[in-house]
Structure formats: structure tokens, C-alpha cells
Amino acid sequence: MSDAKLEDLSIAEAGAKLRDGSLTSATLTRHALDRIAKLDGALHAFVLVTEERALEDAARADAELAAGTDHGPMHGIPYALKDIYDTAGIRTTCHSKLLIDNVPGRDSVVAAKLASGGGVLLGKLATHEFAMGGPSFDLPFPPARNPWNTGHITGGSSSGSGAAVAAGMVRMAMGSDTGGSIRGPAAYCGTVGLKPTYGLISRRGVFPLSYTLDHCGPLTRSVEDAAITTELLAGFDPLDPASADKPKADLRSGLEDGVAGLRIGMPRNLYRDAEGLSPEVYDAIERVGQALEAAGAIVEEVTLPDYALFNACGRVILTAEAFAIHEKDLRERPEDYGELFLMRIVTGAAISSADYIQAQRLRRELSLAVNREALKTYDVLLTACALGPAPAFADCPPDRPVFWPIQSMPFNVTGNPALSMPAGLSASGLPLSAQLVGRPFDEATLLRVGRAVEKATASWGATAPALLAAE
């Protein structure tokens, strides 16, 4: 078959072709590698391309399918990992000079599950240093750039993951989310980004930023692909203290059930008067709400605690825990960190134990407000993710951390599953987004609503990213 549009196939579509014999994993993988070679010089999404490993994985996947062995929906599908996921025998740098020669001896749980599921590893993706700070130009690798306009950022810190998926170099890339680092790049790059419930996917073998806020999750081209990936990766890990012992989730069977009768709450108070809110984003969220109402959902306004409380709570916890993780290296090797990372993390030294405990107490109160009040009445919340399109590199000050108008932190604080969805394009041609939030461990309903949004908004951003428009 012609491979001219192989990049447009979803995981499910590519998988069907692999199984009916009209496509091989070797062809799919070679196409992806050629696409990386063609596009990544402008995007810097990859810090390492594992071509030899990818071709070996693909050959093995084809041989297994030919022999009647099928490891599931990811079998033969190329993917990539944010460069904080340990990969046995393959460098994992966290985009930092401190780990530039770090070669783990063991796979992270996520990498191991993707390998056992027959996936094809294409390489490691750019991040911000230790998933914090950036975009930075004083690190071993350049920052990733946005395929919609390479003069703009991709968000942080799963920056390479957002760029790689948006550019069609991969169908799925793993990110991590401590304060919005899956959903931010998804929002800025026009992809789907799922932060699952805290504890659903093991974080063992992923370099931590914050022990109690970190989540692992996928960035994908579609809601179905997010469901496929999350089904494979979810599961109890007794060696991850945060891992939840829950039954295996079925996230795909109800995707097409629609939203008729579901109750959707819109906490406009979070974002209506927020600094940096674009009128285009506000209007896009309203249009999403109207589309859900037209599809049969009951859409009503709901009030949550002020965003400032969520943000202050999360920032105290994140910064204190990050400082604790890095304290030894900060004392012994401060010169090996990038400037922006240092600016962000040193404030953790000034956070007292009392500050940290009070933040954790507030966290409990905020979680109750979301889960025992708002989500007791509503099945899903519809709110803002990024408050505007992706900022330009030219607007990012080189001497201090960037202010990103994004409202992802509340649901790291509470641990609820949250989904960033494309919601059309700005007048400048950059993606807009909306955020859906579900009940703990109810990814099935969250993704079901996401699928309804996906169908309703399919025509809102039909043009390709600028980098791809000439193809």
C-alpha cells in the first residue's frame, strides 16, 4: 500500500491493517523514522532516535503476528517516551547535564508494559530539565518547537511529546503531569492529553518531580488512542507507594455511547476573570458546552473554590517535594543545572514544614469540594486548560521563568483524571483547548465525553499544522 498518509492512521486503524496483512510494522516504523528525519530538524522533539531498536521491535512484531501471537492493540505500533522514563540500555537524561551519561539497567514499568504489549520504541523525547523550568537554551538539547508555528513553544514539560504527536511522527507519546505537563503541551499543540487518576499508572522508573503530584499519561491523536494506551498501562504496582489496587478498566467499550443524560458542570468562576484568558478560549469552551448540550447532555454552571487556592496549594507542595528530591545535587553540583530550573527550585528551600503541612491540609479540603460536592452532582466538569494559544519564544524572558496562563494544577492537587481536548484554532492559527475532568478512576466516562467532544469539534481545526501544510 501507499504510505503517503500512514501518519494519519490511528492506533486502532493501523492495528487493523497489521492484522489483515495490508500493512507491516516494519513499513509503519520505517515511515515514522523517515518522518522524524524529515521534520525533527525543525522541531527538536527527539533527544534520541533509537532506529536500530525500533527496526528490531518491528521485525519481531511482524514475526509474532505471522506466527499467530498477538500482544494486543499496541502490537507493532511505534511510540516514544518522554526522556524521564527509564529504558534499559538506553540513555535517560531528563534533559540535564547531570544525567547526560545515565544509562539505566532496567526499564520503567511503563516502558516494560509497552514492550510486552508489542510496541515499537522510536526514541526519547525532549522535556524541560527534570520536567521543571524552561524553555531553556543552556541545556544539552534545544527546546522542542510547535509544529503549528515553530516560533512558538509547545508547553512544558512533555514538550517533545506534544510536538511529536502533533507532527504525526508518533501516534502516542508518553508524558508526565505534575502541574499540567501532559495537558499543557496537548493544549498548545492541538492533541489529546490524558492525565489519569493519581495512582492508576505506575510511576516506578520515572524520574520524580513531586512524589504526591506526579502522574504518567499519554498524548495521542485521538481519544480512542488515549483509551487504548491507558488500558495497557493501568494496573497495580506494589512497588509504587502511590499505586492504586483497582480492577482492570474497560475504557473502550462505551466510547461511542454518547452523552445523552450525562450531567456536565462548568466552573466558570475558575477562569472567567483569570489573568491571561483569551476571549477566543472562553468562546471555545462555551461552544464545547453548547455542543455537549446539543448531544443530549445536561450542562449547568457549578462553582468551585478559587483557582488561586488550588494553585498556591499545588505550588507549595510541588516546589517543596522537588527541592527535597534534588537537595543533594543542588548542594554538590549546582553548576550542572540550567538557570531556569535553579530559579524555580531554590524557592523550595524557603518552604517550612508548617507551610507544607498546611498545603496538604488545604489539599484535602479542595479535594472534598471537587469530589464530594461538584462531582457528586455532575458526571464530568468542563473547564479551561490553557487560557490562550501557545506563547512565542520571543515572548519568553531568558532571565526568569515564563508565566504560562494555564489552569491544570487544580486536578493535580485533587488527583482527578483530566483530559485536554482540541477546541478549534485561534485567529493566529494556533490550537485552542478545553479541559474535561472526571471522578477518580472513572476514566471511562471522561473519555466517553471526550469522544463526544471530539466528534462535535472535528471540523473546528481541520487545517494541518504549518510545518505539515506544504506536504
- Does 433 reside within a domain? yes
Active centre residues (catalytic): 82, 157, 181
Q: What's the confidence (pLDDT) of residue 399? A: 78
Q: What's the confidence (pLDDT) of residue 233? A: 98
Omega before 401 cis (within 30°)? no
- Does 7 reside within a domain? no
What residues have CB less than 8 Å from 465, skipping those under 6 apart? 146, 147, 148, 166, 167, 190
Distance CA(122)–CA(140), nearest Å, equals: 20
Q: Cα(first)–Cα(last) distance of the chain, in Å? A: 19
Give the CATH number for residue 327.
Answer: 3.90.1300.10
* pLDDT tens track for 89-102: 999 999 999 999 99
- Does 27 reside within a domain? yes
Q: What's the confidence (pLDDT) of residue 402? A: 80
What residues have CB less than 8 Å from 92, skipping those under 6 apart? 83, 84, 85, 86, 99, 102, 103, 104, 124, 207
Looking at the structure of the chain, the number of domains it has is 1
In terms of Cβ atoms closer than 10 Å to its own Cβ (0-12, 13-18, 19+), residue 175 is buried
* Residues spanned by the domain of 336: 18-469
Distance CA(278)–CA(274), nearest Å, equals: 9
- Does 1 reside within a domain? no
Using an 8 Å Cβ cutoff, are 60 and 182 in contact?
Answer: no
3-state per-residue secondary structure call for the chain: CCCCCHHHCCHHHHHHHHHHCCCCHHHHHHHHHHHHHHHHHHHCCEEEECHHHHHHHHHHHHHHHHCCCCCCCCCCCEEEEECCECECCECCCCCCHHHCCCCCCCCCHHHHHHHHCCCEEEEEECCCHHHCCCCCCCCCCCCCCECCECCECCCCCCHHHHHHHHCCCCCEEEEEECCCCCHHHHHHHCCEEEECCCCCECCCCECCCCCCCCEEEEEECCHHHHHHHHHHHECCCCCCCCCCCCCCCCCCCCCCCCCCCCEEEECHHHHCCCCCCCHHHHHHHHHHHHHHHHCCCEEEECCCCCHHHHHHHHHHHHHHHHHHHHHHHHHHCHHHCCHHHHHHHHHHHHCCHHHHHHHHHHHHHHHHHHHHHHHHHCCEEEECCECCCCCEHHHCCCCCCCCCCECCCHHHHCCCCEEEEEEEECCCCCEEEEEEEECCCCHHHHHHHHHHHHHHCCCCCCCCCHHHHCC
Q: Which residues of the chain have pLDDT under 70?
A: 1-4, 470-471
How many Cβ atoms are within 10 Å of 261's Cβ, its own excluded? 9
Candidates 453, 392, 393, 395; CA nearest to 424 is 453
Question: CA 382: distance to chain centroid?
Answer: 18
- Does 310 reside within a domain? yes
